[in-house]
Every structure is written in structure tokens, then in C-alpha cells.
Structure 1
Amino acid sequence: MMRDLHALLTPRHALGPLEIRRENLAFVTLPASNLRGFLTELRDTQGFSHLVLLTAVDWLEEGQFQLTYMMNNRARDLTLGVRVMLDRTTAQMDSIHDLWPTAATYQRELKEMFGITFPGSPRLDEEFILEGWTDLPPYRRDFDSLAYSQQTYAERPGRVTHDPREYMKSKLYPGG
């Protein structure tokens, strides 16, 4: 099923190789400029009516973000992960909130946590999760969480931990 779909849509959308993970789950990568047309065709002609998830991965060493749009065709029980790569320095992608209104929420999260912008997406610049946040987006791999916590929070002593085996021995067999 997925192979047939891939063969049908590759000429129009310049799809990369099909990566089949299970019979009903596959991934494909395509140029970011082809995403909107591809998603529209999946929705309108191929029955992929449900946007399950929109997420990102920071490929710091390659200077790219990977966006993955998980699309589902409920009637056929098929899920297709659609990946696009973005330049990390510009970090901008077309909004799809007009195709799936739920995408606006995912896009707000990706803006706040990765710094990826989606021009035209509603409420994109309003605080969402990180109220009052002024630092580098925290899901970027170059965000230093240790340095941030040391600068932001006062040092306090940690709790004492015990080796579980020795601790239980001392409790069960005191003095022995």
C-alpha cells in the first residue's frame, strides 16, 4: 500500500526514498518547498485526514532542523511521517494551520521551544508554555541547561542516597 502511494506521488512532489517501519507506518522526506502541495494531496485525494503530530529534531552538527508531520489515514489504518529539513539559521516553514487547525498549537510550541517560525500562524508570538522566557529556546541542542540552572537557581544541598542493597541490609539486619 505505502509503496504504491510513494510511486504515485513521487513524480509530482520529489519524494525521497520510502522508509517502511511497519506494514502501516512509513516515512518519507521531501523538499520543504513541496510540503504544502504534498500534504494537501494526501488530505484531499489519499484519505490522510488526520494530523497526528508535528515535531522537530535539532541536527546541530548539520546546521538543520528536521520537521516531521505524522499523517494518518484512519480508513486504511496507515500512518505516514513526512519529513522536511530546514536551515537552522533561518528556521522558518510555511504554516499549515489552514489545512489542519490543530497545527497552530504544534507550531506555537515549536516556535517557543526551538525558535522555528511559521509566518501567518495564529498567536505564534504569544507566550505559550514558557511564560517570561528570554533565553535561547530550550529544545535547541546548543542551549546549555546546566549553565542556565546554575545562573537561575540558588544552589541547595541534595538529598542523601543509599545503595539499595546495603540500605535494605542495614534496615532488615541492624548491627549485623
Structure 2
Amino acid sequence: MEMRHLHALLKQRHSLGQLEPKGGKLAFVTVPRENLRGLLTELRDVHGFTHLVLLTAVDWMEDGLFQLTYMLNNRGRDMTLGIRVMLDRQEAQGDSIHDLWPTAATYQRELKEMFGIDFPGSPRIDEEFILEGWTDLPPYRRDFDSLAYSQQTYAERPGRVTHDPREYMKSKLYPDGV
């Protein structure tokens, strides 16, 4: 079954958005949050998308949204489908799928720590994972100011010089100015 046929089959039942092919056997589709679990379950149990490749997030700060992307792979057909779900940035809460793919718990812990997106019911979701002792805004959120954080946290180290790469290499390659 090709991706367009699969999309047509699932579109009505799960309120899928437009299929966005990305070349080869990769495509993306957006689904309403309330339809996510049913779609993921059907893709896994009926259509052979048994491998959760990754779960990641994008911060659309200007739109007040987080985008979760679930990359699923059907190894038998060599097809990968990215399922996108938009979340309200203020609510910052997704639905845990650790019961569908146990590896999702690790991705969900990372997204909680790095973006502040909660997945209630996910195992160990509130335990420190990467950022031990971190008390600031989650660092992958676009409103986290990494320059201000580093200036407040680390002492200035004098003596560093930035060189124009072209002039610097010229001086190294031709020290006599030839």
C-alpha cells in the first residue's frame, strides 16, 4: 500500500490533514490531538508501523503552539510517516504513548525537561533526566535566552580573540606576507 492510499483510507476516520510527501517513502500529516491515540494504534496494529523512530518537538512561540512529531516506520514496506500534533504552548501537555511504544517514555522525559511539555502518566516523567539540578526555563524553548543565561552563570574569560578566518589563514600559510 502506498502512502497516498493509506492517507485516503485513514483521512475521514482520524480527521487527517493534507498528506505532505517529502520524497521517497517519507511523508508527514497533521492530526488533531484527540485523534492521535486512535491513529497511532491503528497504524501500529493494522498497517505495520511498528517502529517509533523518534518523538520530537518544535516551539512555534509566535503562534503559541508546540508541535509534536511522531516518526513511525513500517519496516516491511520501507515507509516512514511523521504524525504532527499541535499543542497549546501555555498548557504544554501531551498524551503519553508509553503503553504503545515503551521507548516513548524516554522521549517524553526529554521533552518534559527540555521544552517543559508534560506527559501525565508517563513513567519517571518528573525525575531529572539530562539537566540535573536545572531550575531555569527549559532550554529548548525559544524564549530561553542562552546568552543571558551564560552571562549570568559563567565568569567572563579574558584573552579570547576572534580572527577573521581569511586573514588568519593567510597569516598562518604565508607568515612572511608573501
Indicate the TM-score class for this superposition, using the shorter chain for normalisation. Answer: over 0.9
TM-aligned CA distance change 1:169 to 1:19, over 3 Å: closer
In the alignment, which residue of structure 2 is the partner of 1:83?
84
| Matched residue, 1:62 | 63
Aligned to 1:122: 123
The corresponding residue for 2:54 is: 53
Name the TM-score, length of structure 1 as normaliser. 0.95
Q: What residue in structure 2 maps to residue 38 of structure 1?
A: 39
Distance 2:17 2:86 in 1: 12
1:173 Cα shift? Answer: 4.1
Moved more, 139-148 or 156-165: 156-165
Give the superposed CA RMSD: 1.4
Q: Distance in 2 between matches of 1:169 and 1:93?
A: 53
Q: CA deviation at 1:126?
A: 0.5
* Residues 1:167 and 1:140: Cα distance change in structure 2 (over 3 Å): closer
Q: What CA distance in whole angstroms lies between the structure 1 residues aligned with 2:71 and 2:169?
A: 47
Instruction: Quote the sequence identity (%).
Output: 81
TM-score (normalised: structure 2): 0.94
Change (3 A) 1:165 1:101: same
Aligned equivalents of 2:130, 2:19: Cα separation in 1? 35
Q: How does 1:69-108 map to 2 (within 5 A)?
A: 69-108=70-109
- Alpha-carbon spacing, 1:65–1:168, altered in 2? closer, same or farther (3 Å): closer
Structure 1 segments unaligned to the other structure (5+ residues): none
